[in-house]
Amino acid sequence: MVHTIQQNNAPLEFNAKPRKFAMWLFVVSSIIMFGGFTSYYLVFSAAKGKGHGLVLPDAFMYSTAVLVLSSVFLFLAARALRSKQLKQQQLFLWITVILGIAFAYLQFQAWTSLYMSGAVLINNNAAISMIYLLSGMHLLHIVAGLAFVVSALISSYRNVEHAKLVYRQDIASIFWHFIDILWIYLYVFLLLNS
Amino acid sequence: MSTISTHDTHHDDHGHHHETFLTKYVFSQDHKMIAKQFLITGIIMAVIAMILSILFRIQLAWPDQNFPLLEQLLGKWAEGGRIKPDFYLALVTIHGTIMVFFVLTAGLSGTFSNLLIPLQVGARDMASPFLNMLSYWFFFAACVIMMSSFFIQTGPASAGWTVYPPLSAVPKAIPGSGLGMTLWLISMILFVASSLMGGINYVSTILNMRTKGMDFWKMPLTIWAFFLTAVLGILSFPVLVAGVVLLIFDRSVGTSFYLSDMVFGTQIMPNEGGSPILWQHLFWFLGHPEVYIVIMPAMGLSSEIIAVNSRKPIFGYHAMVYSLIGITVLSLIVWGHHMFVTGMNPFLGGVFMITTLIIAVPSAVKTFNWLATLWKGNIRFTPGMLFAIGMVSFFISGGLTGIWLGNATLDINLHDTYFVVAHFHLVMGSAAIFGMLAGVYHWFPKMFGRLMDSKLAYLHFWVTFVCTYLVFFPLHFLGLDGVPRRYYAFTEFEFMHKWMTVNKLVTWSAIVAGLAQVAFLFNFFYSIFRGKRAPQNPWESNTLEWTTPVERIHGNWPGEIPTVHRWPYDYSKPGAESDFIPQTVPFSETMSSNLFHDFEGNAEAEQIQREWNAKNDPSKNNE
Amino acid sequence: MILPEAASEHGKKIDQMFEITLILTSIVFIATHIVLFIFTYIYRYNKARKAYYYPHNNMIERIWTIVPALVLTVLVLMGFLTWRSIFHKVEDPNNKPLSVEVTSSQFQWDIRYPGKDGIVGKKNYKLVTSTNNLGIDFSDRNSQDDLVADEIVLPVNKAVRFTLGSKDVIHSFYMPHFRIQLNTVPGMPTYFEFTPTITTDEMKAKTGDPNFHYVLLCSKICGTNHFNMQKVVRIVSEKEYEEWLTNQKPYLTDDLRKAFNLPVPVTEPAKAADTTATASVKPSIENQLALKK
Ligand code: HEM
Ligand SMILES: [Cu+2]
Ligand SMILES: [Cu+2]
């Protein structure tokens, strides 16, 4: 078996660009997955001549507002980092995390009120099941997004080198803004195709 | 400037970070090791899937004979020495799934994209080595979970590799749709995650990490193929996830995305309102691109191998790239040709027929260009070359029947018969496997620093090539006679009895072909340890990977990464001393062979060349 | 040629196109393989020779892009027109096709003929019981005279329109001799209209096989007995067909009449009980027959 005779002395230098690009590609594939769900919805409702036919719970409206707000704070965090104000960045990241959790809570609220109104998940109208599914899959993305934000937060406390801080913050920003826009899209989609 | 002579390795000793066995061989983040992991796992899965296929071929050839051995091997699945119908379907399903996804997608793309992308574009590793490692381990987990379904009470998934609901959704419909199907779906989600992590890495690496001078039109066709394959994967695999998630909900939660109006015996099922056809749309939106995800890397590998061993530039490099791009784009809009007879809107059927037949054009162009590359070549019959030529032959044979099936009208009679089985085993099964084997023989020296034995390789090639045709070609005729696929036995319909002898021939050929793989396996594993040591550039090839040292090092090149000056296909260039000019050789060193065309409109370089020609070889200025 | 003879009108058209495609692709297949093997043989390695540096030729490449494209265009056009003619039937009110309903389930085919009114009545899967295994809705008048048949018998040269449905999983209604294949999907009826042109007896003579009969197969994987889901199909003369039809029994049994609150015709009770008994036993007998065959 061949064996390593020597190591390259230049450590594989850290290069953020290809990794950020990879994050963008992940965003693309995620969009396509939701494209799959929403095209199911469109074909289904076109074939049956009906959508979910519900008035969406108010909680969805609040959660949307909360999510947009969290995006604003994440943006502020990125700006704080750029002017090297770590304390401020940390504060804004914390707010983002809290708003993210609040969003998740509101989504559960929305499901509860859907459930109470009789629009349950196990439904003979697949369009109604789809509301749960879309918001549920989106919530999984929120969990992943929180993980990225927390990773930016941790590295901010650990005071790692600036390039890496910016990289972590950027990754968190790309993903979080994406899931923000994604949720707005899904919400509007569900509003329009009732 | 660095040329091929990056061999003057200056060994710096500092910065030696410690590698343990675990980080080197198991949780390695080095793309070359991950490539080997993919390859060896892929080979193991291929052997398993091949054994499964021989099992069900035995059932088809001798449907009313008992083989006590089978009972000993398979226990209750073959009580009395005869495979049971449910288990037969499980075998077919798992065989197809393993071959398509685990061998020809992960085993092929995973191995060669990982090995060759950094080496051929001139990068030290992938964009994210960590993600790359995860990609392998997700794949590994997917394999383990899929195989574990053989050890559960109700057996593995058995609704066919396309797992159409309701059959796949209702455990009452077939035992395999119980826990086995759940495992299938979990395995598939892990597999898609693995593919996406891999694909994202490949694309990002190719777009961002090429070495100096490696512009798009200097990339070898292998890289083009891996790139477009990865793009296609990113665009289509997520849709399969969407489909699978809905199926999981239907199965485990009780929703009705795909289910409606079902009665089993007299038991009326509660699901209502869903449509099973929608699964097929979501599945084939991935499924068709998937077949090209399988063949495109094989095309890329074969193109490279054919050019190297014909000692000629690949004919029509640009056309080869454009046809790959065409295939990538078109393959996203043809999925409906798998659904001509589902009762979908006939107008849609017509549209899908048009797009499908258009996709045959780039495929034809590729074939003709391969043939033209051979023309007036100086062909070295290395094992890799033989398999690449075999790949071309199978691609033609199987591709042509695609034209029949793509014609919706003819498909009425051919869909779901053995004709389709023959089509895709030739064009996908055989062609892609041959492309993969060609790649293994060709890049084995790069992976293990040794050469495989060529006598054994010739034996392997000829037996496999002949037997593969003997297995799949006769199946066309069964299909034309109206024999449907996935039949457990041909005993119940009188008109099928005449095919029993053919079935025996096919089964014997499959067994012989299977035995021929022993020659390969032995050769492969023996050569890893005992093969002849390989020189740095055994095939006298132009691409960058052969400028790295034979020994595996982290970071690929000991010194600087070489700069690229020319396209990878300067073989047998008139005026050059040797019959190959590596990509790293600057034009200034090859004045006698440069063509004005090489400078891509760079006036200064052309001027220098013109002056040189005037002094040394005035006739060349007249061109 | 290598297909069994087509026994339907559209089948002949399909076969024509089949032959054109077969000839074209065979030419390409043989030509490319000759070239492939001859080139590899002639240009095998020779130390003294150098390969010809020939990176591209736009003219040639253009030709072999355009020629296949043209040939394929022709094939597409033919295919498209034939495809339309098969699936877009213009309804002629004076000459309505015969309607037959086929329902698939694991692992059998159930055939329903329309009765005198020529219309196959409604059904609903929620009505399925052990006596009403298709879930026929007898409150629909059109259902009341529907006939049960244990084989498919069709008059020659008369258009038939099959309504296909499935009770459980997807199956596929495949009759290779007539060049017919269409999936049967639970919850979504599908339709196939065609005209058989050769009777079973004629086919026996043509093939020289006294045991010849048309087959109906299932071609979509559907479970354990997928490989054995058969039904005999007979194409007969108009006269034989009429005769056969008069011998078929209605679906509507006295038990079912009671279940649907329909008047039960007055016959001696003993006899009524008798017919129901045979009727309800029937499907299982059929099943066993199918399995044994
Ligand atoms: C020349 C271009 C091709 C055309 C026009 C074509 C056309 C078709 C059509 C129409 C079908 C559906 C047949 C049916 O189910 O009735 C089909 C099936 C299939 N084709 Fe191709 N094909 C082409 C090339 C390929 C290639 C390059 C691959 C893979 C490498 C491939 C793999 C498959 C597979 C796997 C199936 C069967 C899937 C299944 O039902 O299990 N085909 N092809
Ligand atoms: Cu396809
Ligand atoms: Cu079946």
ipTM, two decimals, is 0.91
First-to-final CA distance of chain C? 29
pLDDT digits (tens, 9 = 90+) for B285-320: 999 999 999 999 999 999 999 999 999 999 999 999
Confidence (pLDDT) at C271: 41
Quickly state the pLDDT bin for C96 (edges 50, 70, 90). Answer: confident
Q: Under an 8 A CB cutoff, do C75 and B261 touch?
A: no
Q: Please report which ligand is nearest the Cα atom of B292.
A: 1
With respect to residue B600, please indicate whether it lies within any of the assigned structural domains.
yes
B132-135 LR contacts (CB < 8 Å, sep 24+): B132/B29, B132/B31, B132/B34, B132/B197, B132/B198, B132/B201, B133/B27, B133/B28, B133/B29, B133/B34, B134/B194, B134/B197, B135/B34, B135/B110, B135/B194, B135/B195, B135/B197, B135/B198, B135/B201
The mean per-residue pLDDT over the stretch C172-197 comes to: 94
Q: Helix or strand or coil: residue C138? A: coil
Last residue of a domain, one of B503, B533, B563: B533
B605 in the same domain as B466:
no
Length of chain A: 194
Confidence (pLDDT) at C91: 77
| Distance, CA of B118 to CA of A53 (rounded, Å) | 52
pLDDT digits (tens, 9 = 90+) for A12-56: 567 788 889 999 999 999 999 999 999 999 999 988 888 888 889
| Distance, CA of C125 to CA of C114 (rounded, Å) | 19
| Distance, CA of B99 to CA of B86 (rounded, Å) | 20
Q: Under an 8 A CB cutoff, do B257 and A26 touch?
A: no
**Residue nearest to ligand 1 atom 6, measured at CA:** B402
**Residue nearest to ligand 1 atom 43, measured at CA:** B402
- Lookup result for tokens 């849709």: B239
- Chain C hits for B263, Cβ within 8 Å: 105, 125, 128, 135, 167-168
Token representation of residue C222: 């559907």
Contact assessment for residue B297 and residue B229, using Cβ atoms and an 8 Å cutoff: yes
C129 in the same domain as C29:
no
Please state the domain extents for chain A.
21-192
| Distance, CA of C282 to CA of C279 (rounded, Å) | 5
Quickly state the pLDDT bin for C267 (edges 50, 70, 90). Answer: low
Q: Under an 8 A CB cutoff, do B555 and A137 touch?
A: no
With respect to residue B10, please indicate whether it lies within any of the assigned structural domains.
no
C107 in the same domain as C239:
yes
With respect to residue B2, please indicate whether it lies within any of the assigned structural domains.
no
| Distance, CA of B383 to CA of B441 (rounded, Å) | 6
Of C83, C105, C177, the CB nearest to B349: C83
Q: Helix or strand or coil: residue A174? A: helix
- In which domain, by residue range, is C19 found? 9-87
Closest to B408 in 3D by CA, of C80, C183, C12, C171: C80
The mean per-residue pLDDT over the stretch C110-125 comes to: 89
B120 in the same domain as B143:
yes
C207 in the same domain as C278:
no
Quickly state the pLDDT bin for A162 (edges 50, 70, 90). Answer: confident
- The string of DSSP letters for B559-573 reads SSPPPP-S-TT-BS-
Q: Under an 8 A CB cutoff, do A32 and B238 touch?
A: yes
Separation in Å, CA of B554 to nearest CA in chain A: 6
pLDDT digits (tens, 9 = 90+) for C57-92: 999 999 999 999 999 999 999 999 999 999 887 777
Give the containing element (helix H, strand E) for B377: none
With respect to residue B234, please indicate whether it lies within any of the assigned structural domains.
yes
| Distance, CA of C152 to CA of C130 (rounded, Å) | 23
Distance B337 CA to ligand 2 centre (A): 6
Confidence (pLDDT) at B623: 57
Closest to A30 in 3D by CA, of B237, B280, B227, B203: B237
- The string of DSSP letters for C97-123 reads PEEEEEEEETTEEEEEE--TTS----B
Token representation of residue B352: 């899908």
* Residue B363 CB–ligand 1 contact under 6 Å: yes
Confidence (pLDDT) at A4: 36
With respect to residue B9, please indicate whether it lies within any of the assigned structural domains.
no
Q: Please report which ligand is nearest the Cα atom of B410.
A: 1
Q: Under an 8 A CB cutoff, do A2 and B238 touch?
A: no
Contact assessment for residue A148 and residue A172, using Cβ atoms and an 8 Å cutoff: yes
SS3 track for B65-112: CCCHHHHHHHHHHHHHHCCCHHHHHHHHHHHHHHHHHHHHHHHHHHHH
User: From the CB of residue A148, how many other CB atoms can be counted at a distance below 10 Å?
Assistant: 19
Last residue of a domain, one of B533, B558, B584: B533
* Mutation site, B158, B263, B423, interface C, largest C CB count within 10 A: B263
Cα–Cα distance list, C186 to B165, B166, B446 (Å): 10, 9, 54
Length of chain C: 293
Separation in Å, CA of B130 to nearest CA in chain C: 40
Judged by a CB distance cut-off of 8 A, whether residue B554 touches chain A is yes
* Residue B426 CB–ligand 1 contact under 6 Å: no
Distance B335 CA to ligand 2 centre (A): 6
Residues with CB in 5 Å of ion ligand 2: B 288
**Residue nearest to ligand 1 atom 37, measured at CA:** B424
Judged against a pLDDT cut of 90, whether residue C233 lies above it is answered with yes
- Which residues, 6+ apart, have CB-to-CB distance to A16 below 8 Å? A163, A166, A167, A170
Of B315, B397, B484, the CB nearest to C54: B315
Separation in Å, CA of B622 to nearest CA in chain C: 18
Confidence (pLDDT) at B601: 82
Confidence (pLDDT) at A27: 95
Judged by a CB distance cut-off of 8 A, whether residue A6 touches chain B is yes
C136 in the same domain as C64:
no
Cα–Cα distance list, B206 to B117, B449, B513, C99, C235 (Å): 7, 25, 37, 60, 63
Distance B479 CA to ligand 1 centre (A): 15
Give the containing element (helix H, strand E) for C56: none
Last residue of a domain, one of C55, C87, C119: C87
With respect to residue B19, please indicate whether it lies within any of the assigned structural domains.
no
| Distance, CA of A35 to CA of B607 (rounded, Å) | 54
Distance B173 CA to ligand 3 centre (A): 12
The CATH superfamily label for domain A21-192 reads Cytochrome c oxidase, subunit III, four-helix bundle (1.20.120.80)
C102 in the same domain as C235:
yes
- Chain B hits for C129, Cβ within 8 Å: 266
What is the radius of gyration, based on Cα positions, of chain C? 26
Phi-psi category of B254—alpha, beta or left, where left has phi over 0 and alpha has psi -120 to 50?
left
B546-585 in b/e form (b: 16+ CB < 10 A) is: bbbbbebbbbbbbeebbbbbbbbbbbbbeebeebbbbbbb
| Distance, CA of B572 to CA of B563 (rounded, Å) | 22
Contact partners for chain A, using 3 or more CB pairs closer than 8 A, are B
With respect to residue B18, please indicate whether it lies within any of the assigned structural domains.
no
The widest CA-to-CA distance across chain A, in whole angstroms, is: 69
| Distance, CA of C278 to CA of C284 (rounded, Å) | 10
C164 in the same domain as C267:
no
Burial classification of residue A28, based on how many CB atoms lie within 10 Å of its CB (0-12 exposed, 13-18 middle, 19 or more buried): middle
pLDDT digits (tens, 9 = 90+) for C12-52: 999 999 999 999 999 999 999 999 999 999 999 988 888 89
* Residue B394 CB–ligand 1 contact under 6 Å: no
Of A10, A11, A126, the CB nearest to B257: A126
**Angle at A133 (CA atoms; ends A50, A102), nearest 5 degrees:** 120
The mean per-residue pLDDT over the stretch C220-242 comes to: 93
Q: Under an 8 A CB cutoff, do B239 and A18 touch?
A: no
C232 in the same domain as C111:
yes
Total domain count for chain C?
3
Token representation of residue C274: 């008798």
- Residue C24 has, within 13 A of its CA and on its CB side, a CA count of 18
**Residue nearest to ligand 1 atom 34, measured at CA:** B424
| Distance, CA of B230 to CA of B126 (rounded, Å) | 14
Closest to B436 in 3D by CA, of B515, B524, B364: B524
Q: Under an 8 A CB cutoff, do C187 and B261 touch?
A: yes
In degrees and rounded to multiples of 5, residue C147 shows phi and psi of: -110, 145
Contact assessment for residue A110 and residue B244, using Cβ atoms and an 8 Å cutoff: no
Name residues of chain B where pLDDT drops below 50.
1-16
- In which domain, by residue range, is B76 found? 28-533
| Distance, CA of A39 to CA of A33 (rounded, Å) | 10
* Residue B399 CB–ligand 1 contact under 6 Å: yes
How far is residue B270 CA from its own chain's centroid? Answer: 42
Distance B402 CA to ligand 2 centre (A): 9
Q: Which of B337, B355, B433, B483 to mutate to test the pocket of ligand 1 (most atoms within 8 A of CB)?
A: B337
Separation in Å, CA of B35 to nearest CA in chain A: 15
User: From the CB of residue B82, how many other CB atoms can be counted at a distance below 10 Å?
Assistant: 21
* Residue B483 CB–ligand 1 contact under 6 Å: no
- Domain of residue B45, CATH code: 1.20.210.10
Q: Please report which ligand is nearest the Cα atom of B340.
A: 1
Cα–Cα distance list, B128 to A191, B132, B135, B196, B384 (Å): 39, 6, 11, 13, 31
Quickly state the pLDDT bin for C266 (edges 50, 70, 90). Answer: low
With respect to residue B21, please indicate whether it lies within any of the assigned structural domains.
no
B499 in the same domain as B584:
no
Cα–Cα distance list, C154 to A101, A171, B495, C160, C164 (Å): 68, 68, 21, 8, 16
Q: Which of B104, B394, B423 to mutate to test the pocket of ligand 1 (most atoms within 8 A of CB)?
A: B423
Total domain count for chain B?
2
Last residue of a domain, one of B513, B533, B553: B533
Separation in Å, CA of B271 to nearest CA in chain A: 7
B203 in the same domain as B96:
yes
In degrees and rounded to multiples of 5, residue B332 shows phi and psi of: -80, -10
B502 in the same domain as B612:
no
B137 in the same domain as B99:
yes
Token representation of residue C109: 């085919």
B390 in the same domain as B357:
yes
B528 in the same domain as B503:
yes
Separation in Å, CA of C268 to nearest CA in chain B: 30
Which B positions 200-219 lie with beta carbon below 8 A of chain A?
A: 200-201, 203-205, 207-209
**Which residue in chain B has the smallest CA separation from A39?**
B282
Judged against a pLDDT cut of 50, whether residue A7 lies above it is answered with no
User: From the CB of residue B522, how many other CB atoms can be counted at a distance below 10 Å?
Assistant: 13
pLDDT digits (tens, 9 = 90+) for B517-552: 999 999 999 999 999 999 999 999 999 999 999 888
B524 in the same domain as B602:
no
Residue B395 alpha carbon, nearest atom of ligand 1: 27
- Residue B260 has, within 13 A of its CA and on its CB side, a CA count of 23
